[in-house]
């Protein structure tokens, strides 16, 4: 804890438009930029999913205007098989990297981590600015692949080799499309590494006086733990992407073995390993799941506690469990590879940690449930999404029991069961975390309140809609419905098409409901009711400062922290809550 080092990053408020809003080194502006990028990316990703869903339900349906995206990919506005795969790949990549990583971690983390720790900014503000702009460039590079001759890669967001490594001979988008994909992700990794570095140092070095590590709110802990995961996971993905690019442009064979014959040609590669890509990718890929979900856990805990008017049963247990999940996340990645051809003993070795990781996840859920017991729950859009998150996390988490076991994975691997599982536990749950965070923190970020009625309507449509979309995915998977098919021509899959039609309708309705959110966001930004400094009666440092916070976060006086982060309903206290900065003496057990 360095109450003095906080001043090390002091920088005057910028005056010009460019330095203030574009190339800003203010963590709050950067947080908002990340949020805007995530919103843009989510819109693109969702529209792509609509196109895919319509195509899956009604295979020959023309989607008006689709030919504008690609004349060859959608002649007569009907998707070709290859273009379906290309859009699917872009959907997955955009959503995982540019939405689920950027919004809960980079956007909210940037805005609130320094404030919750009591810092004036992050220690390396220029790195921070670079982190966003590098990520933005990564997004542009990825989107650019829509506009190259044969379009984006069709290899899926996992880009398994050798499909991804042999070039355009393997299909449309497998040449330049893959190079752009791998370049985009490698650039993205640089952005996240810079961001993680800032998050870690902010947490360790920038805390204000009195802010011990155990006094950090759970959201700050979640961002801290996630940044450690980010530092190690993206550091592996980046070189993997570089090696993939080299296989394309430098004639190397990192991921291509010898003797492959495509289109009647023996490929001039030898000595590579296709499984090497899978190991490198999933060593990043599984922690990535937690990079998306742990910040959401932190946000949801933070939102729930404020709305339950009580601390969680144990602050320390939640932190320990998030830490345990982070450590275990590196030991479980092999469950993506049970039937990949790796040593079958390895499957057992990866299965046990995968099963064990359910223990800390269960404990976190039980802490939420046990804390709901006897609470004074306030219902608002933020707390509804936080509660919805718990329901989704339970549903998606429990289907993990099946996929953790190699014997059952024989049936369910690469089916819609997997798609249902990860969409619920990672995508929808994390999105609910983002929504909870948005409704909760929007007043602090903009100085205005969001419309609660629209927010609640948004919740109901999203909650019921998400279940209607993703629960049936599990049934399809159990029936053996293979994923990544653009049409279901197999005899045993044809009877399942009506379920796909139902899912498509649900996806369109749920997707349209998101317009309510976007409208609410934009309308409230300009016309929302003015927010007070502490509209939810919260206790952590973001509620001790002005709304919106001044350039240096706390004005002339740096805050001093006297209490644990969640002093609600403290017996004998002067009010329902005691802020971290309140010097009031209270009789509450300190969890340090």
**Where in 189-218 is the site for other proteins (CB under 8 A)?**
none
Pairwise CA distance, residues 249 & 534, whole Å: 55
345 binds other proteins (CB under 8 A): yes
Minimum CB separation from other proteins for residue 189, in Å?
A: 23
Interaction between residue 491 and other proteins (CB under 8 A): yes
Helices 429-446 and 108-117 pack at an angle, to 10 degrees, of: 60
Q: How far is the CB of 514 from other proteins (least distance, A)?
A: 19
Nearest residue to 536 via CA among 300, 373, 218, 304: 304
Q: Which is nearer to other proteins, 114 or 565 (CB)?
A: 565
Tokens representing 354 are: 């995968």
Q: Angle 507-509-511 (CA atoms, 0-180°, nearest 5)?
A: 65
In the complex, least distance from residue 178 CB atom to other proteins, rounded to whole angstroms = 13
Closest CA to 433 of 323, 257, 302, 312: 302
In the complex with other proteins, the residue whose CB is nearer, 32 or 269, is 269
* Shorter beta-carbon distance to other proteins: residue 140 or 366: 366
Which positions from 163 through 182 interact with other proteins, judged by CB under 8 A? 163, 166, 170-172, 174
415 pairs with which residues across the strands? 482
CA-to-CA distance for 512 and 428, rounded, in angstroms? 15
Instruction: Please give the residues from 295 up to 314 whose contact with other proteins meets the rule CB under 8 A.
Output: 308-310, 313-314
Of 300, 311, 215, 380, nearest in space to 568 by CA: 311
Nearest alpha carbon to residue 380 among 229, 151, 537: 537
Cis amide linkage into residue 548, ω under 30° from 0: yes
Instruction: Report residue 7 as tokens.
Output: 């001043």
Which residue among 390, 427, 430, 436 contacts other proteins (CB under 8 A)?
Answer: 390
SS3 state at 518: helix
Q: Is 567 helix (H, G, I), strand (E, B) or coil?
A: strand
Which 90-129 residues touch other proteins, going by CB under 8 A? Answer: none
Residues 494-513 touching other proteins, rule: CB under 8 A, are 496, 499
Strands (E), 79-148: none
Which residues fall within 8 angstroms of residue 178, CB to CB, at 6 or more apart?
153, 155, 159, 164, 165, 167, 244, 248
- From 492, 550, 574, 584, residue interacting with other proteins (rule: CB under 8 A): 492
Piece of the chain touching other proteins by CB under 8 A; list 24-32, 235-243, 287-295, 382-390? 382-390
CA distances from 448 to 268, 437, 525 (A): 61, 15, 6
- Phi/psi at 262 (5° precision): -130, 135
Rule CB under 8 A: choose which of 162, 167, 433, 437 binds other proteins. Answer: 162
In angstroms, give the least distance from the CB of 364 to other proteins. Answer: 9
Chain centre distance of CA 6: 29
Task: Determine if 327 is a binding residue for other proteins (CB under 8 A).
Answer: no
Q: Total binding residues for other proteins by CB under 8 A?
A: 111
Please identify, using beta-carbon distances, which residue of 142 and 386 lies nearer to other proteins. 386
Q: Give 423 or 448: the residue with its C-beta nearer to other proteins.
A: 423
Asked if 346 touches other proteins (CB under 8 A), the answer is no
Give the residue with the Cβ less far from other proteins, 11 or 460: 460
Cβ proximity of 488 and 494 under 8 Å: yes
Question: Closest approach of Cβ 22 to other proteins, in Å?
Answer: 39
Q: Which residues contact residue 464 at a Cβ distance below 8 angstroms, ignoring those fewer than 6 apart?
A: none
Q: How far is the CB of 276 from other proteins (least distance, A)?
A: 10
**Nearest approach, Cβ of 305 to other proteins (angstroms)?**
12
359: which 2 tokens? 């223990």
Output 170 or 218, the one with its CB closest to other proteins.
170
Any idea what DSSP says for residue 168?
G
Least Å distance, CB 82 to other proteins, is 4
Binding mask 399-438 for other proteins (x = CB under 8 A): x-xx-xxxxxxxx-xxx-----------------------
Minimum CB separation of residue 521 from other proteins in Å reads 22
Residue closer to other proteins, measured from CB, 366 or 515: 366
**Interface residues for other proteins in 255-294 (CB under 8 A)?**
256-262, 264, 266, 272-275
Residues between 14 and 33 with contacts to other proteins, criterion CB under 8 A: none
CA distance between the termini of the chain: 14
Nearest distance in Å: CB 24, other proteins: 39
CB 472 to other proteins: min, Å: 8
Nearer to other proteins, 377 or 546 (CB): 377
Give me the least distance between CB of 377 and other proteins, in Å please: 4
Give the interface segment with other proteins, choosing from 17-25, 101-109, 396-404, 552-560 (CB under 8 A): 396-404
If one counts every other C-beta atom within 10 angstroms of the C-beta of residue 331, the result is 15
Q: How far apart are CA 213 and CA 105, in angstroms?
A: 19
Report residue 522 as tokens. Answer: 């934009």
Site for other proteins in 543-572 (CB under 8 A): 568-569
Cα(343)–Cα(349) distance, integer angstroms: 10
Applying CB under 8 A, among 156, 210, 535, 548 the residue interacting with other proteins is 156
Site for other proteins, residues 361 to 380, rule: CB under 8 A: 362-363, 365-367, 369-379
Rounded to whole angstroms, how far apart are CA atoms 354 and 404? 6
Nearest to 371 by CA among 426, 321, 308: 308
Q: Is residue 488 a contact point for other proteins (CB under 8 A)?
A: yes
Q: How far is the CB of 156 from other proteins (least distance, A)?
A: 5
Residue among 282 and 463 whose Cβ is closer to other proteins? 463
Site track 452-481 with other proteins (rule: CB under 8 A), x = hit = ----x------xx--x---xx--xx-xxx-
Q: How far apart, in whole angstroms, are the C-alpha atoms of residue 206 and residue 197?
A: 13
User: Closest approach of Cβ 37 to other proteins, in Å?
Assistant: 28
* Least gap, CB of 425 to other proteins (angstroms): 13
Q: Is the peptide bond before 162 cis (omega within 30 degrees of 0)?
A: yes
Among residues 439, 473, 471, 443, the alpha carbon closest in space to that of 543 is found at 443
């Amino acid at each position: 804890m360095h109450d003095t080092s906080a001043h090390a990053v002091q920088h005057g408020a910028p005056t010009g438009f460019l330095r203030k809003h574009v190339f800003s080194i203010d963590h709050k502006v950067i947080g908002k930029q990340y949020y805007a990028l995530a919103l843009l990316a989510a819109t693109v990703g969702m529209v792509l999913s609509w196109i895919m869903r319509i195509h899956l339900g009604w295979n020959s349906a023309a989607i008006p205007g689709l030919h504008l995206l690609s004349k060859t990919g959608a002649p007569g506005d009907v998707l070709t098989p290859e273009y379906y795969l290309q859009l699917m790949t872009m959907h997955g990549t955009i959503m995982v990297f540019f939405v689920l990583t950027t919004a809960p971690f980079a956007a909210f983390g940037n805005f609130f981590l320094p404030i919750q720790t009591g810092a004036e900014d992050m220690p390396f503000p220029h790195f921070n600015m670079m982190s966003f702009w590098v990520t933005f460039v990564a997004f542009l590079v990825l989107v650019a692949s829509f506009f190259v001759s044969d379009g984006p890669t069709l290899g899926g967001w996992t880009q398994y080799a050798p499909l991804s490594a042999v070039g355009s001979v393997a299909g449309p988008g497998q040449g330049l499309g893959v190079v752009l994909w791998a370049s985009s992700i490698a650039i993205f990794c640089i952005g996240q590494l810079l961001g993680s570095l800032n998050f870690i140092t902010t947490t360790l070095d920038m805390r204000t006086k009195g802010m011990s590590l155990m006094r950090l709110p759970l959201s700050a802990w979640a961002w801290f733990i996630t940044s450690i995961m980010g530092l190690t996971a993206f550091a592996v993905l980046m070189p993997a992407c570089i090696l993939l690019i080299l296989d394309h442009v430098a004639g190397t064979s990192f991921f291509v073995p010898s003797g492959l014959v495509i289109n009647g040609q023996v490929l001039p590669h030898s000595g590579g390993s296709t499984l090497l890509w899978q190991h490198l990718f999933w060593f990043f890929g599984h922690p990535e799941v937690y990079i998306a979900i742990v910040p959401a856990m932190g946000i949801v805990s933070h939102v729930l506690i404020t709305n339950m008017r009580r601390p969680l049963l144990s602050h320390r247990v939640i932190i320990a469990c998030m830490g345990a999940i982070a450590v275990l996340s590196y030991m479980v990645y092999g469950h993506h590879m049970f039937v990949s051809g790796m040593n079958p003993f390895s499957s057992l070795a990866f299965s046990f940690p995968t099963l064990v990781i359910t223990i800390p996840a269960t404990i976190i859920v039980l802490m939420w449930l046990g804390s709901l017991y006897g609470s004074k729950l306030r219902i608002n859009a933020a707390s509804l999404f936080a509660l919805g998150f718990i329901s989704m996390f339970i549903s998606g988490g429990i289907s993990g029991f099946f996929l953790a076991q190699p014997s059952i994975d024989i049936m369910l691997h690469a089916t819609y069961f997997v798609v249902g599982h990860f969409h619920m536990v990672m995508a929808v749950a994390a999105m609910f975390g983002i929504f909870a965070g948005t409704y909760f923190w929007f007043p602090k970020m903009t100085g205005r309140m969001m419309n609660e009625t629209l927010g609640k309507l948004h919740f109901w449509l999203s909650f019921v809609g998400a279940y209607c979309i993703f629960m049936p995915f599990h049934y399809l998977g159990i029936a053996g419905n293979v994923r990544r098919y653009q049409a279901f021509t197999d005899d045993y899959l044809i009877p399942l098409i009506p379920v796909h039609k139902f899912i498509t309708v649900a996806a369109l309705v749920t997707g349209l409901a998101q317009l309510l959110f976007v409208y609410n966001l934009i309308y409230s930004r300009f016309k929302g009711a003015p927010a007070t400094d502490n509209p939810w009666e919260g206790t952590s440092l973001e509620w001790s400062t002005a709304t919106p916070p001044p350039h240096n976060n706390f004005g002339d006086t740096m805050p001093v922290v006297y209490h644990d982060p969640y002093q609600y309903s403290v017996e004998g206290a002067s009010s329902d809550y005691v802020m971290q900065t309140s010097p009031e003496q209270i009789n509450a057990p300190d969890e340090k």
